[in-house]
Amino acid sequence: MKNYLLFLSIFFTFNIGQAQIKYSFDNYGWNNLLYHSNTNKPNYSNIDSFALSQKIYQIKKSKTYISKKGNVSYTNELTNFDNKGRSNQRTTSADTGRKQHIYLFANRNYNANGLLQSSFYKSQYTGRTEFYTYNDSNKIIQSTYYNQKAKFSGQTLIAYNNLGKEKRVIYFNHKNQISRSYDYVYTSNGQLKQTVLKNSKGKVKLVTDYNCDNVGKAVQKLKDTAKICATKSYLPNGNIITTTHGFNYNGKPYKTVEMSDSMNQLLKYEFYNGLKETLLYGTSYTYASGKQIKTEVLNMYNPKKPYTRITEKDLNGRITKDESTYQISKSKQTIYKNTFVYDAHGMITKEQSFKNGKLYAETVYSYIFYK
């Protein structure tokens, strides 16, 4: 799943209140913060409504790993929130029994209006500090980056049109020289019409056209032009199928197929790659007796050895089943299973991880609350 997300991701995007930060690495050190039942909700905002409503000050995740030989090691993760529900500090430490050390530390600083002013991330191998500047509409117009040695490592400038949409994004390298830029063209009703990628010398490298026409429907890639075309079909039972053809950032063609029902519930999502339209990833959802059952099939690297993950959730969004199967060979499988325990507020208190039925990790969650 991580590889699939990385494969699709071109930019890092998340919201800050009314503002939007794009093309930023601030999410370093803040991913995968799982602690309450609604785990499907994207955490694009620095304001965590659940942490705010429950008045959470700190979450502690204590994870115990058990090796095949019975050796035990530990990691502890502390995440702090301010009284506005904003995550502002995160620390992860490890204890192998021989050595204890902090291998991740991250913090965020906000101004009086709740806008993120700076963020800091440091691990054993790298570090990064970012500073942000906003316009009068609280939209980010500049991100400046420094490496672990506090040396300038680049910046991003963003300009907007009169509708508040990105008009141009310019990337600068560690020498403060333009490395590339994107121009955005919109239709009269504000829909994205075209993006233009230019290199460091201002030469057009790729034009991506989002207009669907007779040519676009049979998506074609020219030397420096790509068509992105989405078409919808409506089935008699009310289901809607959306098929999108396009090209990824490497210039390779792809196709996505998404099916939803009349209640706008996602039923199926599939991602195909290349001219041969090889299925890389597929997800199907069924809904029965108030439960959501999600089945993922991933065969990105080897179609003969697919990965399957089944996740079931109850009406409250709590995961009741999480099981992954790796097909090693025709006769051999590796099965990972996670179980969860929740309190009355829907917050996870314990997670256990099994490999082929044998416990190999246990995570205990504890909370400190504002009074």
pLDDT at 132: 94
pLDDT at 191: 85
Q: Looking at the predicted structure, is the pLDDT value of residue 12 above 50? A: no
pLDDT at 193: 85
Q: What would the two tokens of residue 240 be?
A: 């809607």
Say whether pTM exceeds 0.85. no
Ranges 60-74, 93-107, 161-175, 329-343, most confident: 161-175
Q: Are 47 and 15 in contact (CB under 8 A)?
A: no
d(CA 125, CA 184): 36
- To the nearest whole number, what is the mean pLDDT of the chain? 81
Ranges 15-29, 41-55, 86-100, most confident: 86-100
Q: What would the two tokens of residue 254 be?
A: 């792809």
Q: Looking at the predicted structure, is the pLDDT value of residue 103 above 80? A: yes
Q: Looking at the predicted structure, is the pLDDT value of residue 314 above 70? A: yes
pLDDT at 110: 92
d(CA 172, CA 158): 12
